[in-house]
Amino acid sequence: MRARKEPALLHQFLVETSRTHGRAVAILDDDRATTFDQLVEQAISLAATLAERGLGKGDRVALLMPKSTEAIISLFATLLVGGIYVPLEPRWPAERIESSLADCTPRFVVMQDQGNRTHRIHALSSIVEVPGGSPLIVDMLTRQSLLWQEALAGGCSRLADTGIAPEDPALILFTSGSTGRPKGVTLSHKAVAAFVQWSAQECAITAHDRLGCPSSLNFDLSTFDIFNMALRGATCVIVPEQIVWLPRFLVQFMRAQRITAWYCVPSMLSVLLAERAFVQGRFPDLRLAIFAGEVLPGRDVARLRTVVPGAAVYNFYGPTETNVVTWYRVPEEFAPDRPVPIGSACPYAELMLDPESVEAGEEEVTGDLLVAGDSLMLGYWNRPGETGKAFVDSAPDGASCKRFYRTGDRVSLDAAAGRYTFVGRKDRQVKRLGYRVELGEIENALRTHAGILESAVIAVQDRDARTRIVAFVHADPLVPVSVAEIRTHCTQRLPAYMMPDQISFVSAMPKSSRGKTDYAALAAMA
């Protein structure tokens, strides 16, 4: 008997699965359960409405809303028409949302009423209040709006072929940019499908799984639960955003919802391990714990083993530009005082160390990691110059692929075991709470304050291997400024995960012999 060939396009995952699991629950969102039949029906209806109003192949639809049933319906509707979905976090500062909207120039914006805060966004200044928090679809060309129920009223049962290919773009994820302007990482159907199809097989995802992933839509971790749901018929359990960083409620949620697979950043594991109810609890349903986005402390893995001794624990690695490209299943006997490797290359990825950066040791070699393969981004949206700089112009000797992405990460390779271990960043980019943070973007935000002459930001590791951001500011003596005022200033310009943990005033910024900010001296001070 021949195995069924898996679809090549992300929305085809959902359409195919609905034919065999139509009555099964696809999404659990608070007290709402949506079956695969209902999800497909509503996605097709919304897709037909968007198509009738002008959405076509390659057009963008911005999702300015939390992870929800409506958001997932909207992203599949966008893909069904051949469009590109662009998830934006409503809690971002208005400037950041405006910048992202201006960059991707969406044809439509799907949003939920967030009160006056959202309505202050200049690009959406024509929006009216929406009663009851109902989603609203905004036509950015005509500036007309359409209520959610009106958009689903079309009742269309099928759509014309859009002619899109696996290599065509499916989504744009905006990440931190060193210039202070977020960059849109453009991922194709093929790129996301490569990760999802592999992870479904490696993690043995089935229709019996209940997938919990607290990451927001604008974070690449969300491609795991949404598209594994669509591919394998599993249930995507939406984690309410208001409890994501409240461990007591999160523990209750995981138990009550009988989560079988949990995918989050290591910082969240540290928070959970600090909660007595988690450490003393039992999670008989949890069979899979996956972590990505930051360094995974071995000590936390050891403590997790005592809570869920039977669960498989994975460490995934990969920048947004590549999604997951390495994996490591942590063995039962793993020593807690050792760094957890990021592991071996996924079958769809090719990894190399930049020959010009290699430093050889007795048992390992260290160098800058280069990545190629099916999961690679197409490029940064509307930024050909930065896209060109991100890739190696010519393939290193011995490579089978021609296009390699410069991750900026230094790793060590144990050639005998074929495993990589993360060493650190070669530039001034760090991971925090799973998000990528350009320290230069925080510096730029600080410098826009009228009372700050100079700013410098560094990242330090605390005892639990968590990243702390420390900002140093040289203030104008003629302009009174306080830490509270600076924090308020940053809140208006930066998302919460980029806010400095500590702000210190210096009378003069330390300089190197070349007159540049001496970050080593600041690190010693921190």
Give the integer Cα–Cα distance in Å for 38 and 2.
30
Residue 459: phi and psi, rounded to 5, are -120, 135
- The Cα–Cα gap between 177 and 179 comes to 5
Residues in Cβ contact with 269 at an 8 Å cutoff, skipping those fewer than 6 apart: 289, 291, 296, 300, 304
pTM given for the model: 0.88
CB atoms within 10 A of CB 314: 21
> Which secondary-structure segment (H or E) carries 272?
helix 266-273
Least confident of 3-7, 92-96, 219-223, 507-511: 3-7
> What pLDDT, on the 0 to 100 scale, is given for residue 133?
64
Q: What separation in angstroms does the CA of 144 have from each of 126, 155, 366?
A: 8, 21, 55
For the ranges 87-91, 466-470, 512-516, the lowest mean pLDDT is seen at: 512-516
The helix or strand, by DSSP H or E, that contains position 409, with its residue range, turns out to be: strand 404-414
∠ Cα 104 54 111 (to 5°): 55
pLDDT tens across 369-389, in order? 999 999 999 999 999 999 999
Tens of pLDDT, residues 39-79: 999 999 999 999 999 999 999 999 999 999 999 999 999 99
User: Model confidence at 260, in pLDDT bands (50, 70, 90)?
Assistant: very high
How high is the pLDDT of residue 119?
A: 42
367: three-class secondary structure by DSSP: strand
Q: What letter does residue 110 receive in the DSSP assignment?
A: E
Count of C-beta atoms within a 10 Å radius of residue 515: 7
Q: For the ranges 123-127, 320-324, 468-472, which has the lowest average pLDDT?
A: 123-127
Which domains, ranges and CATH numbers included, belong to the chain?
Answer: 35-155 (3.40.50.980), 433-525 (3.30.300.30)
